[in-house]
Structures are given as C-alpha cells and as structure tokens.
Chain A
Amino acid sequence: MGLNKMNRTADILADKIVSGFSMEGTDWIPEGATEPAVVEETAEAELAPDETLKEQIFSMFRHNKLALVSAIIILLFIIATIFAPFLAPHDPNVQDMYNRASNPCEGHILGTDSLGRDVFSRMLYGGRVSLLVGLLPTTISMILGTALGLIAGYIGGKIDNIIMRIADVLMAFPSLLLAMLVSYTLGKGMLTIFIALSFVGWAGTARMVRSEVLSLREKEYVEAATSIGVKRSTIMIRHILPNCLSTLVVLFTMNVPGNILTESSLSFLGIGAQPPSTSWGLLVFEMKKFLTQAPIPTLAPGIAILILVVAFNFLGDALRDQLDPSLKD
C-alpha cells in the first residue's frame, strides 16, 4: 500500500519545512525574541557536554513514558517469541479435529484455528516470523543503504548518479508490489519476503544517508581530515558514519513497522509464510472463513500486529524528537 513509505516521505517533507525556519529560541527566549547572541550561547551551553547516543536514548526513556512503555512492549514480544516453546500451552501443530475454529474455551485462551490448533501457541511461534521480518531485512537493507549512500554522497560523480537513479526506480514501486513481483519470480515463501524487503528497501536509507553525507562533507573536521591526507574510506567510516548514526537509529525504528505490515499483508494474501510454518498474517488468512463463527481466534493475531507496530511507531517518533531536534515541534 506504500502507506508507510508515504509516511516516511511525510516526515521528510516536514523535516524540510521545519529546518527551513529560523532558529527557535532556547527554553526561555520566546519566538518573538530576536537576540541571536544569547540564543547561541545558551544553545551551546546546553549542548556543551556532548551527549552520546546512549545517554540521549536513556534520557529519552526517563522523560518520555510512552517511549518507555513502547520499548517494554517490544521487549516483551521479543522475549515471548524467543521462549515460545516454554510459554506455549500447547504444541502449535497438534490438531484437535473435534474442536475446530472455536472461540476461547478451557485450555485454549484464544480459541483454536481451522484445524483445531491452539491459536495462542501459534501466535507465539508466528510472532517469530513477524519480528524476524521486522528486524532482519530492515537491518540488511539499512546496511546496504548506508553503504551505498556513503559511497554515493562521498565519491559523487558518476557512481553517485548511478546509485541514486537505481534508488529512484526502486522508490517508484510500492513495497508490496515489488514483493509480489519477486514472489512471482522466486516463488512464494518467507525467503522471497526476506529477499524482497532486504534488497529493495535500501533506497530510502541511501537517499537519507547521502544527503547527510553531503552536508557533513562540508564540515571543518572532515575538511581537516581530507587536508592532512586521511584516506577516503577512513574518513567515511571514522568521521562521517558516526555522525549519521542517530539518523540511522531513527530510520531503523521507523522502517521496522513498515516491514512488519508488509510481511503480514503478503502472508494474508497467501504469498508470504507458507503452511505448515506460520505468521500472524497467515493466521488471519487461514481463519478468514471463520470470522463470524470464531471472531476471537480470527482477529487476535491482528491485534498483536497492531500493538507491535504501534509500539515501534511511538518509539520511532520519540527517538526522532530526541535525536533529531530539527524536527521537534
């Protein structure tokens, strides 16, 4: 649906607007005040002890309860799926033909699916797929995007042009469509989704990193490093990459929910996870026919998706506000 990509574009647009404006006052000088010297002084004083990324994130969790709750929820999901074998009340593959597509009953807190399997247990296992797809392809695509963005931005010229034109083409596709194309070529299944999301999603990251590099390249310390003959690759890794880090953290948190949603959509269409393995999207797909008969086991996996995605989005918002102050409202 491209909604998440759209949302990212919205954020970039917002970024553009906000960063175009004059410097906002520090905490006591109202907008009306036009006393730049003091603004700068105070701003400097506040930034003076350079906060590390870790410290900034910790301070965010201290002040932003919503972010903390979101992080805890994500952590709980991760723990629950890792320890699924211990937490699951039933074997997720054991069928109970006399108790098919039933609403919650004794022994099955979320009911059973079309083959009489315990939905809660299947959700614990299925969550592994959703989380893995959320985290792994996002990581791969962001490493790829960071590398290509660094190269494009720092080397420039023809290579920059080629990389960015490829990125343009990839960005023209909604991720769901591209995944469908890949699945046609490579066949249905999780591997397809991994490949599609890993090798397609880098374009946005590359674009972001490239623009970051272009602005960092002009900074004094990079110029200084260049002037004393430090190698290009060293400059990129030592000087430029660390400065992109906070942007990357924000971007990562914002990309994860998009990929989780894409995976669940594809699985719901029957293109993603294939039985007997499972995922939340597939669980809903398999129970589609039983919506009226057994709404709880049918809809429960969707609630899990929603909660996880909302948690990631809240965390992403909080991180953006904390790490990218130019976006702060």
Chain B
Amino acid sequence: MGKYITKRILISIPLMIAVVLVVFLMLQVLPGNPVSVMMGEKANPAVIERVTEQMGLNDPVLVRFGRYLIDALHGDLGISYKLNRPIATLIGEAFPNTVKLAITAALVAWIIGIPAGVISAIKKDTLLDRFLMGFSLVGISLPVFWAAMLMQFIFSAQLGLLPISGYTTWKHMIMPAFVLGWASSGTIARLTRSSLLGIMKNDYIRTARAKGIKESLVVVRHGLKNAMIPVVTMMAMQFASLLSGAVMTETVFGIGGIGVLMVSAVNTRDMPLLQGSVIFSTMIIILGNLVADILYSFLDPKIREQ
C-alpha cells in the first residue's frame, strides 16, 4: 500500500504545480501594468516604472512564476492591491469561517444523504424510494443562491426565527449549513443507493444469506461495509470541495470565507488576491482528492494488503 500512496502523492505534485502555473498565466497575460492599477490613474509614470522594476515585474514570465512558487512555499502569497495586506493573512482570517460552514454543511449532507441512500436501496422501487431520490435530485439541481434566499425569506423575514446573515453564532450557521448540506446530500444519497444496490447483487451476499445471517445484518455487515468504500471516498472529495469555499452560500449569507474573498477580488480587480485565493482553493481540492484516494486504499483490502 505504501507504494500506492507514494505513487498518488507523486502524481499530485506536478498537478499542483501545473494548476499554479495555469492560474498564474491566466492572470499575467492581462495587458496593462498592475502597478498602475494599484497606484491609481494619477501616479507619476516614473514612479510606476521604478516600482515595476523593484517588484520584478519586468522579468520574463517563467522567472516570475518561479519566484512566486518559491514565495508561496514559504507562505508568502504577495500583498493585496486593494486591501494592502498580506494575502496569506487574509486567507488565514477567512478560512476558519469556510471551515465552520464546511463542517456543518458536510454533517447535514451525511446525516441526510447516507440514511436516505440506504433506505432508498432497501425499499427500492417503492414510493419512499421515489420520494427520497426525488428529494436528492432536487438537491443537486438547486440553484444554491436561490434556495438560500428562499430560506432567508421564510425563516428570517417571515418567521423571524433565524438571523438573516452573518457568521458569529451557531444560529447563523443553520440556514447556510442546511442549504449547502441539502445540495451536497443529493450526491451522497444517490451514490450510496446505487453502490449498495450494486453490492447486494454480489455472490458473497448470497453466501452470507446461505450462512443463515439475518437479512438486516446481511445488509449492514456485508452490504454496507462494501458499499461505503466509494461513498467515503466521495465524502472526502466533497468535503474538500466545501473547504475550498462555498462561493454562493457565503455570498448570500454574508459569511466572510474564502468564497467571498474570491468574489470580492474579482469585483475589485485585485489580481494577487484572486490569484492567491484561487490557488489556495484548488490546492485544497487536489489535497482532498489525494486524501480520498488514500482513504480508498485503506478501506479496500485488495489495495491495503499489497
């Protein structure tokens, strides 16, 4: 298994570098000098020239990329044009909020998604199955910003039960977590269902029944344990995706996380901030997929016992 994990890690490193390069190039090909953007229209051209030189912006792209990469490895992602603060610090402040949302949303997704998938599989083709799968499909079809506003309207504006936005108390997290969790639970429920249904067709399920094990135990012990392997992998990937910033949910509920950071960077044309936050996000996703792969190798004895 060590070999497998090493291989996975070795594959992700060039991928990470390539991702950073893509982001870097996409933002660097822009015409116009970022320094003049930063200093405003009225700045003295000579000053702009000098600062440009100082910041090394006249060097070839690849040199600048190398420098950026090395700085990034030391935790230096540059300074925000508009906020004039280190980007690493801004991310450091925003990330805990994203984490809070990700954890609560993931919990909602799992608590709804896994039982819904299992029940659907056991009660396949019944009305309950149809209902649960319909609920899941609506979940994955949900325009998150719209669902968020709908909840704001019902639970804050009309009923006055929950705060409309913000992220200071746990009460603030209920609506965002539910909206995001519902959207994520659909994927989990559908995967759990199809995985369990697939597993229950296996010969070893018949063996378990022939052994005289109660049907409920056959499902739990022999079905679920196998069926959960891909589901857990998916859960890891999904959690990574949530950690990378729930742009829409954060925006509507005014949660100052990574997603909001990225949106504001786009809107204020803050290039280094956008670059830094997008790279941070994608790194989390790549790492999450790596963890998912490793988790998979732990759960599947065929890989584990190699």
A–B touch (CB < 8 A): the answer is: yes
A262 → B minimal CB distance (Å): 10
B19 CB contacts on chain A under 8 angstroms: 169, 172-173
B45 → A minimal CB distance (Å): 25
Evaluate contact between A17 and B195: CB separation under 8 angstroms.
Answer: yes
Evaluate contact between B274 and A184: CB separation under 8 angstroms.
Answer: yes
Evaluate contact between B194 and A17: CB separation under 8 angstroms.
Answer: yes
A257 CB contacts on chain B under 8 angstroms: 141
Q: Cα distance A86–B202 when bound, in Å?
A: 57
- The answer, yes or no, to whether B80 is at the interface (CB within 8 Å) is no
Chain B 276-292 interface residues, beta-carbon cutoff 8 Å to A? 278, 281-282, 285-286, 289
Q: How many residues of B contact A (CB 8 A)?
A: 66
Q: Cα distance A22–B266 when bound, in Å?
A: 51
B263 CB contacts on chain A under 8 angstroms: 180, 269
Evaluate contact between A269 and B251: CB separation under 8 angstroms.
Answer: yes
A77 → B minimal CB distance (Å): 14
Question: Which of the segments A49-57, A117-125, A292-300 contacts the partner chain?
Answer: A292-300
B201 CB contacts on chain A under 8 angstroms: 21-22, 24, 31
- Could you mark each residue 284-296 of chain A with 1 if its beta carbon is under 8 Å from any beta carbon of chain B, else 0? 1000100110010
Instruction: From the candidates B30, B143, B278, B282, name the one contacting A305 in the complex (CB within 8 A).
Output: B143
Q: Cα distance A268–B203 when bound, in Å?
A: 50
Q: Cα distance A305–B147 when bound, in Å?
A: 11
Instruction: From the candidates A168, A177, A261, name the one contacting B15 in the complex (CB within 8 A).
Output: A168
Q: Cα distance A145–B152 when bound, in Å?
A: 40
- The answer, yes or no, to whether B237 is at the interface (CB within 8 Å) is yes
Known: A185-B30, A269-B247, A310-B137. A299 touches B191 (CB 8 A): no
Question: Which of the segments B57-65, B84-92, B182-190, B216-224 contacts the partner chain?
Answer: B182-190
- The answer, yes or no, to whether B106 is at the interface (CB within 8 Å) is no
B157 CB contacts on chain A under 8 angstroms: 291-292, 295
Interface range, A side: 35 or more
A106 → B minimal CB distance (Å): 24
Known: A1-B247, A291-B149, A299-B149. A270 touches B267 (CB 8 A): yes
- The answer, yes or no, to whether A2 is at the interface (CB within 8 Å) is yes
Q: Cα distance A312–B244 when bound, in Å?
A: 27
Evaluate contact between B234 and A180: CB separation under 8 angstroms.
Answer: no
A268 CB contacts on chain B under 8 angstroms: 143, 145, 248, 251
A150 CB contacts on chain B under 8 angstroms: none
Q: Cα distance A301–B191 when bound, in Å?
A: 30
Q: Cα distance A257–B138 when bound, in Å?
A: 12
Evaluate contact between A2 and B241: CB separation under 8 angstroms.
Answer: yes
B271 CB contacts on chain A under 8 angstroms: 184
- Could you mark each residue 114-158 of chain B with 1 if its beta carbon is under 8 Å from any beta carbon of chain A, else 0? 000000000010000000000001101111111101101100010
Contacts A1-B144, A2-B285, A313-B141 known; list 13 others, CB within 8 Å. A3-B187, A6-B234, A24-B201, A169-B18, A177-B247, A184-B266, A184-B269, A281-B145, A295-B153, A298-B149, A299-B149, A329-B124, A329-B197
Closest 9 CB pairs of A and B: A302-B146, A14-B194, A309-B141, A18-B198, A10-B191, A292-B157, A310-B141, A329-B197, A13-B230
A-B pairs with beta carbons under 8 Å apart, 23 shown: A3-B241, A6-B187, A6-B241, A7-B186, A9-B234, A17-B195, A22-B202, A165-B18, A168-B15, A172-B19, A177-B278, A180-B278, A184-B26, A264-B145, A264-B146, A269-B251, A270-B267, A271-B266, A295-B153, A303-B146, A306-B146, A309-B141, A313-B140
Interfacial residues, chain A to chain B (CB-CB below 8 A) = 1-4, 6-7, 9-10, 13-14, 16-18, 20-22, 24, 31-32, 165, 168-169, 172-174, 176-177, 180-185, 257, 261, 264-265, 268-271, 281, 284, 288, 291-292, 295, 298-299, 301-303, 305-306, 309-310, 312-314, 317, 327, 329
